[in-house]
Amino acid sequence: MITVEHLTKRYGAQLAVSDVSFSCAPGTVTGFLGPNGAGKSTTLRAVCGLTLPTSGTATVGGRPYRELPNAGRHVGVLLDAGAQHSGRTGREALTLAALVQGVPRTRVDEVLEHVGLAGKPAGKRVGKYSLGMRQRLGLAMALLGDPQVLILDEPANGLDPDGIFWMRGLLRGFADRGGTVLLSSHLLREVEAVADQLVVIAGGRIVAQGSSAELLASTGSLVRARDSAALTAALTAAGIGAVPGLADGLVADAPAEAVGLAAATAGVALLELRPAGGDRLEELFRSLTGPSAGTSPTTATQIQETRA
């Protein structure tokens, strides 16, 4: 269980995160999303004991990370795949970590096999690894202590499509066995495919959180016109709410028929009109983190009410 309560972090006059609260339960994958500079990395570093909060708390299993005995046996962390000694081989890096954690050396071979680095890649120096191989080694390091919790920042960077599919299965299997996964990634489709819960942060504040099923449920329409201002005015006149969508489009809180009728009545020519849902997480992400997004936290229930 990961619990973040009213976490705030300041760097001098700069407010990096403000009053951030969320939790990640065992048996689930939580997608932690936000644009660059939103406060994701600061929050993850606070959870992992690398950054001391100005106020608030972050705990794993009810205890701050720094107070966990032999933390690697409880929490597997991957925040930077490049943070490995480039002169060591993959096997040497894992063997050293196994000695520190008190893990049997046989576990090294197990995780190397698990992440696809067994055999020749294990004897290759880390400095010669591709980015994808470094990510696999980082995942092996996180899994080495057989932890109950995984905290991963952009673990799919550098992985090819097969590698991303493999990682999705690895995380899903870990959670299905009762593990807790906190996953930060800019690959929204992959997060949508694996996450049970979503937490969205923007400007250092949580702007939405809830189950993926609830947050991504869509009853609206994606609509796009050459004259976006005229389209917005037409929808407003018809009493239809809308938020920014993809490719300069809008996600309207109404069926396609009602949206089309409103546009036709106002004489607005449409370039695209279809049910929302093909890119549900991207649409949600842009609506919550774009320039016109509000700053008040949103729950799954509130999103559903606005769509009703």
Q: Does the pLDDT value for residue 288 go beyond 60?
A: yes
pLDDT digits (tens, 9 = 90+) for 226-246: 999 999 999 999 999 887 776
Residue 303: predicted pLDDT: 45
**Cα separation, 38 vs 28, whole angstroms:** 23
Residue 304: predicted pLDDT: 43
Q: What percent of the chain has pLDDT over 90?
A: 64
pLDDT digits (tens, 9 = 90+) for 149-178: 999 998 888 888 888 999 899 999 999 999
Residue 221: predicted pLDDT: 83
Contacting residues for 293 by C-beta, under 8 A, at least 6 apart: 202, 207, 243, 287
Domains of the chain (ranges; CATH) run 2-213 (3.40.50.300), 216-307 (3.30.70)
Q: Summarize the confidence of residues 108-118 as an average pLDDT.
A: 94
Q: Does the pLDDT value for residue 305 go beyond 50?
A: no
Higher confidence at residue 241 or residue 215? 241
Q: Summarize the confidence of residues 198-216 as an average pLDDT.
A: 87
